[in-house]
Protein backbone atom coordinates (compact mmCIF):
# COMPACT_ATOMS: atom_id res chain seq x y z
CA UNK A 1 0.00 0.00 0.00
CA UNK A 2 1.52 3.35 -1.03
CA UNK A 3 1.16 6.76 0.62
CA UNK A 4 -1.97 7.49 -1.41
CA UNK A 5 -3.71 4.45 0.02
CA UNK A 6 -3.75 2.47 -3.23
CA UNK A 7 -1.92 -0.58 -4.56
CA UNK A 8 -0.54 1.21 -7.60
CA UNK A 9 2.66 0.17 -9.27
CA UNK A 10 5.12 2.80 -10.47
CA UNK A 11 6.26 2.15 -14.03
CA UNK A 12 8.48 3.99 -16.49
CA UNK A 13 8.23 4.05 -20.26
CA UNK A 14 10.53 5.52 -22.89
CA UNK A 15 8.76 7.25 -25.78
CA UNK A 16 10.62 8.33 -28.91
CA UNK A 17 14.14 7.52 -30.01
CA UNK A 18 17.44 9.34 -30.00
CA UNK A 19 17.17 13.04 -29.28
CA UNK A 20 13.38 12.68 -29.19
CA UNK A 21 13.45 10.02 -26.46
CA UNK A 22 11.90 10.91 -23.11
CA UNK A 23 11.27 8.84 -19.99
CA UNK A 24 7.70 8.90 -18.69
CA UNK A 25 6.59 8.11 -15.15
CA UNK A 26 3.21 6.52 -14.54
CA UNK A 27 1.21 4.91 -11.77
CA UNK A 28 -0.98 1.95 -12.69
CA UNK A 29 -3.71 0.50 -10.52
CA UNK A 30 -4.81 -3.04 -11.40
CA UNK A 31 -8.52 -3.75 -11.21
CA UNK A 32 -9.78 -6.31 -8.69
CA UNK A 33 -10.50 -9.80 -10.01
CA UNK A 34 -13.94 -9.94 -11.55
CA UNK A 35 -14.30 -6.20 -12.08
CA UNK A 36 -15.22 -5.54 -15.71
CA UNK A 37 -15.69 -1.76 -15.56
CA UNK A 38 -13.63 0.43 -17.87
CA UNK A 39 -10.27 1.60 -16.60
CA UNK A 40 -9.97 5.27 -15.66
CA UNK A 41 -7.17 7.34 -17.21
CA UNK A 42 -6.24 10.77 -15.88
CA UNK A 43 -5.06 13.44 -18.33
CA UNK A 44 -3.71 16.41 -16.41
CA UNK A 45 -3.46 20.06 -17.32
CA UNK A 46 -0.66 22.35 -18.42
CA UNK A 47 2.19 22.15 -15.87
CA UNK A 48 0.16 19.90 -13.53
CA UNK A 49 1.15 16.37 -12.57
CA UNK A 50 -0.29 13.08 -11.33
CA UNK A 51 0.16 14.00 -7.65
CA UNK A 52 -2.43 16.79 -7.79
CA UNK A 53 -5.55 16.69 -5.62
CA UNK A 54 -8.01 15.58 -8.32
CA UNK A 55 -5.68 12.91 -9.72
CA UNK A 56 -5.01 11.39 -6.29
CA UNK A 57 -8.68 11.46 -5.29
CA UNK A 58 -9.59 9.78 -8.57
CA UNK A 59 -7.06 6.99 -7.95
CA UNK A 60 -8.40 6.45 -4.44
CA UNK A 61 -11.93 6.33 -5.81
CA UNK A 62 -10.92 3.76 -8.43
CA UNK A 63 -9.31 1.65 -5.69
CA UNK A 64 -12.54 1.71 -3.67
CA UNK A 65 -14.54 0.67 -6.72
CA UNK A 66 -12.01 -1.99 -7.67
CA UNK A 67 -11.50 -0.68 -11.19
CA UNK A 68 -8.17 0.00 -12.94
CA UNK A 69 -6.65 3.46 -13.03
CA UNK A 70 -3.86 5.02 -15.10
CA UNK A 71 -2.04 8.20 -14.11
CA UNK A 72 1.08 9.57 -15.77
CA UNK A 73 3.12 12.73 -16.21
CA UNK A 74 3.68 14.21 -19.66
CA UNK A 75 7.30 14.87 -20.58
CA UNK A 76 8.57 17.97 -18.84
CA UNK A 77 6.02 17.48 -16.06
CA UNK A 78 6.29 15.97 -12.59
CA UNK A 79 8.42 12.83 -12.36
CA UNK A 80 8.83 12.38 -16.12
CA UNK A 81 11.93 13.33 -18.07
CA UNK A 82 12.29 15.71 -20.98
CA UNK A 83 12.28 19.49 -21.13
CA UNK A 84 9.01 21.31 -20.59
CA UNK A 85 9.83 23.82 -23.35
CA UNK A 86 9.97 20.97 -25.88
CA UNK A 87 6.36 20.09 -25.16
CA UNK A 88 3.55 20.42 -27.70
CA UNK A 89 0.04 19.03 -28.00
CA UNK A 90 1.24 16.55 -30.63
CA UNK A 91 4.13 15.42 -28.41
CA UNK A 92 1.95 14.96 -25.33
CA UNK A 93 -0.72 13.19 -27.41
CA UNK A 94 1.93 10.79 -28.69
CA UNK A 95 2.87 10.07 -25.09
CA UNK A 96 -0.76 9.52 -24.09
CA UNK A 97 -1.21 6.96 -26.85
CA UNK A 98 2.04 5.22 -25.86
CA UNK A 99 0.92 5.00 -22.23
CA UNK A 100 -2.40 3.48 -23.32
CA UNK A 101 -0.63 0.84 -25.39
CA UNK A 102 1.62 0.06 -22.45
CA UNK A 103 -1.39 -0.24 -20.13
CA UNK A 104 -3.12 -2.61 -22.56
CA UNK A 105 -0.17 -4.97 -22.12
CA UNK A 106 0.52 -4.34 -18.44
CA UNK A 107 -3.06 -4.23 -17.12
CA UNK A 108 -5.05 -5.77 -19.95
CA UNK A 109 -6.80 -2.42 -20.38
CA UNK A 110 -9.52 -2.46 -23.02
CA UNK A 111 -12.23 0.16 -22.54
CA UNK A 112 -11.42 3.53 -21.00
CA UNK A 113 -13.12 6.28 -19.08
CA UNK A 114 -11.02 9.39 -19.77
CA UNK A 115 -10.90 12.17 -17.17
CA UNK A 116 -9.23 15.25 -18.63
CA UNK A 117 -8.52 18.51 -16.80
CA UNK A 118 -7.97 21.82 -18.63
CA UNK A 119 -5.39 21.03 -21.36
CA UNK A 120 -6.09 17.37 -20.59
CA UNK A 121 -9.60 17.97 -21.92
CA UNK A 122 -8.12 19.01 -25.26
CA UNK A 123 -5.89 15.93 -25.28
CA UNK A 124 -8.91 13.74 -24.45
CA UNK A 125 -10.75 15.03 -27.52
CA UNK A 126 -7.71 14.56 -29.73
CA UNK A 127 -7.28 11.06 -28.28
CA UNK A 128 -10.84 10.24 -29.34
CA UNK A 129 -10.08 11.41 -32.87
CA UNK A 130 -6.88 9.36 -33.04
CA UNK A 131 -8.58 6.20 -31.77
CA UNK A 132 -11.40 6.66 -34.29
CA UNK A 133 -8.84 6.92 -37.12
CA UNK A 134 -7.38 3.62 -35.93
CA UNK A 135 -10.79 1.92 -35.87
CA UNK A 136 -10.78 1.79 -32.06
CA UNK A 137 -13.54 4.25 -31.20
CA UNK A 138 -15.21 1.57 -29.07
CA UNK A 139 -12.26 1.77 -26.67
CA UNK A 140 -13.86 4.84 -25.09
CA UNK A 141 -16.64 4.28 -22.58
CA UNK A 142 -16.98 7.94 -21.65
CA UNK A 143 -15.29 11.22 -20.77
CA UNK A 144 -15.39 13.58 -17.84
CA UNK A 145 -13.82 16.93 -18.75
CA UNK A 146 -12.95 19.47 -16.04
CA UNK A 147 -12.67 23.08 -17.24
CA UNK A 148 -11.67 21.74 -20.66
CA UNK A 149 -9.39 23.98 -22.71
CA UNK A 150 -9.51 22.72 -26.32
CA UNK A 151 -7.62 24.96 -28.73
CA UNK A 152 -6.52 27.19 -25.83
CA UNK A 153 -3.39 28.33 -27.66
CA UNK A 154 -5.29 29.74 -30.65
CA UNK A 155 -8.54 30.65 -28.87
CA UNK A 156 -7.41 31.96 -25.47
CA UNK A 157 -3.74 32.91 -25.81
CA UNK A 158 -3.08 34.23 -29.32
CA UNK A 159 -5.96 36.74 -29.44
CA UNK A 160 -4.80 38.28 -26.15
CA UNK A 161 -1.06 38.56 -26.80
CA UNK A 162 0.50 41.90 -25.95
CA UNK A 163 3.01 43.55 -28.26
CA UNK A 164 5.77 42.66 -25.81
CA UNK A 165 4.71 39.00 -25.85
CA UNK A 166 4.55 38.92 -29.65
CA UNK A 167 8.02 40.40 -29.79
CA UNK A 168 9.31 37.84 -27.30
CA UNK A 169 7.83 35.00 -29.35
CA UNK A 170 9.43 36.32 -32.53
CA UNK A 171 12.83 37.05 -31.03
CA UNK A 172 13.19 34.45 -28.24
CA UNK A 173 10.74 31.72 -29.31
CA UNK A 174 8.72 31.98 -26.09
CA UNK A 175 7.15 34.38 -23.62
CA UNK A 176 6.54 34.15 -19.89
CA UNK A 177 3.37 34.92 -17.96
CA UNK A 178 2.89 35.13 -14.18
CA UNK A 179 0.60 32.49 -12.68
CA UNK A 180 -1.23 32.38 -9.34
CA UNK A 181 -0.63 28.62 -9.14
CA UNK A 182 3.07 28.72 -8.27
CA UNK A 183 6.20 30.88 -7.98
CA UNK A 184 7.47 30.18 -11.50
CA UNK A 185 5.82 31.84 -14.52
CA UNK A 186 4.06 29.91 -17.23
CA UNK A 187 6.13 29.55 -20.39
CA UNK A 188 4.42 29.48 -23.78
CA UNK A 189 6.61 28.65 -26.75
CA UNK A 190 6.17 29.47 -30.42
CA UNK A 191 6.48 25.73 -31.06
CA UNK A 192 3.50 25.04 -28.77
CA UNK A 193 1.37 27.74 -30.39
CA UNK A 194 2.15 26.66 -33.96
CA UNK A 195 1.49 23.02 -33.11
CA UNK A 196 -1.75 24.00 -31.39
CA UNK A 197 -3.08 25.32 -34.69
CA UNK A 198 -2.52 21.88 -36.23
CA UNK A 199 -4.46 20.19 -33.42
CA UNK A 200 -7.59 22.33 -33.41
CA UNK A 201 -10.84 20.54 -32.64
CA UNK A 202 -13.31 23.44 -32.58
CA UNK A 203 -13.37 23.82 -36.36
CA UNK A 204 -16.15 21.30 -36.87
CA UNK A 205 -18.16 18.46 -35.35
CA UNK A 206 -16.33 16.49 -32.64
CA UNK A 207 -17.39 12.85 -32.73
CA UNK A 208 -16.09 11.05 -29.64
CA UNK A 209 -18.48 8.10 -29.87
CA UNK A 210 -19.07 8.15 -26.11
CA UNK A 211 -21.05 10.05 -23.45
CA UNK A 212 -19.40 13.18 -22.02
CA UNK A 213 -19.87 15.13 -18.81
CA UNK A 214 -18.26 18.58 -18.62
CA UNK A 215 -17.67 20.30 -15.27
CA UNK A 216 -16.98 24.03 -15.51
CA UNK A 217 -16.60 26.79 -12.94
CA UNK A 218 -18.30 30.08 -13.74
CA UNK A 219 -15.62 32.00 -11.82
CA UNK A 220 -12.80 30.37 -13.81
CA UNK A 221 -10.24 33.12 -14.62
CA UNK A 222 -8.30 30.95 -17.09
CA UNK A 223 -10.94 29.19 -19.20
CA UNK A 224 -14.19 31.20 -19.38
CA UNK A 225 -17.32 29.12 -18.98
CA UNK A 226 -18.45 30.32 -22.41
CA UNK A 227 -15.61 28.20 -23.82
CA UNK A 228 -17.27 25.05 -22.44
CA UNK A 229 -20.62 26.15 -23.82
CA UNK A 230 -18.99 26.53 -27.22
CA UNK A 231 -17.46 23.05 -26.89
CA UNK A 232 -20.93 21.60 -26.23
CA UNK A 233 -22.10 23.07 -29.54
CA UNK A 234 -19.39 21.08 -31.37
CA UNK A 235 -20.03 17.72 -29.70
CA UNK A 236 -22.04 15.31 -31.81
CA UNK A 237 -23.10 12.89 -29.07
CA UNK A 238 -26.64 13.09 -27.68
CA UNK A 239 -25.40 12.17 -24.20
CA UNK A 240 -23.39 15.31 -23.46
CA UNK A 241 -23.97 17.07 -20.13
CA UNK A 242 -22.57 20.41 -18.94
CA UNK A 243 -22.56 21.20 -15.22
CA UNK A 244 -21.81 24.84 -14.41
CA UNK A 245 -20.54 25.50 -10.89
CA UNK A 246 -21.54 29.08 -10.12
CA UNK A 247 -18.74 29.81 -7.65
CA UNK A 248 -16.24 27.35 -9.13
CA UNK A 249 -12.71 28.36 -10.12
CA UNK A 250 -10.39 26.77 -12.68
CA UNK A 251 -9.04 23.98 -10.51
CA UNK A 252 -12.37 22.74 -9.09
CA UNK A 253 -10.43 21.03 -6.30
CA UNK A 254 -12.62 21.89 -3.31
CA UNK A 255 -14.28 18.97 -1.54
CA UNK A 256 -17.65 19.79 -3.06
CA UNK A 257 -16.04 19.95 -6.52
CA UNK A 258 -14.33 16.59 -6.01
CA UNK A 259 -17.67 15.08 -5.05
CA UNK A 260 -19.21 16.34 -8.30
CA UNK A 261 -16.27 14.86 -10.24
CA UNK A 262 -16.53 11.44 -8.59
CA UNK A 263 -20.31 11.41 -9.02
CA UNK A 264 -19.91 12.05 -12.75
CA UNK A 265 -17.26 9.32 -13.04
CA UNK A 266 -19.41 6.82 -11.14
CA UNK A 267 -22.43 7.58 -13.33
CA UNK A 268 -20.51 6.92 -16.55
CA UNK A 269 -18.89 3.78 -15.15
CA UNK A 270 -22.30 2.40 -14.15
CA UNK A 271 -23.79 3.35 -17.52
CA UNK A 272 -21.04 1.46 -19.34
Mean pLDDT computed over every residue of the chain: 94
Decide: 209 and 132 in contact? Cβ < 8 Å: yes
CATH architecture of the domain covering 9-151+207-271: 3-Layer(aba) Sandwich (3.40)
**Inter-axis angle of helices 53-65 and 255-271, nearest 10:** 40
Residue 70's pLDDT is 96
Instruction: Give whole-number Cα distances, 141 to 41, 101, 150, 211, 242, in Å.
Output: 11, 17, 20, 7, 18
Above 60 in pLDDT, residue 3?
Answer: no
Whether pLDDT at 130 is above 80? yes
Per-residue pLDDT at 2 exceeds 80: no
> What φ, ψ does residue 261 adopt, rounded to 5°?
-60, -50
Question: CA–CA separation, 194 vs 169, rounded Å?
Answer: 11
Please state the rounded mean pLDDT for residues 247-258.
97
Kindly tell me if the per-residue pLDDT of 21 is higher than 70: yes
Instruction: Kindly give, in sequence order, each residue whose CB lies less than 8 Å from that of residue 92, ignoring residues fewer than 6 positions away.
Output: 74, 75, 123
| Chain segment 149-195, per-residue pLDDT in tens | 999 999 999 999 999 999 999 999 999 998 877 778 899 999 999 99
pTM of the model: 0.94
Model pLDDT, residue 4: 52
Q: Give pLDDT tens digits for 51-98.
A: 999 999 999 999 999 999 999 999 999 999 999 999 999 999 999 999
Closest by CA to 116, choosing from 139, 144, 92, 76, is: 144
Amino acid sequence: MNQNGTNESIDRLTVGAGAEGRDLAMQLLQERDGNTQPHIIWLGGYRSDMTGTKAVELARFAARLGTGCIRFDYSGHGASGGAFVDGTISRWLEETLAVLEYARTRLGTQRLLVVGSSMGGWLALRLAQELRQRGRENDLAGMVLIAPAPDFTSELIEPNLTEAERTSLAERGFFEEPTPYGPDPNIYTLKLIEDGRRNRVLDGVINTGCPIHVLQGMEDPDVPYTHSIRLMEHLSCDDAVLTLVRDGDHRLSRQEDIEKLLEAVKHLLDAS
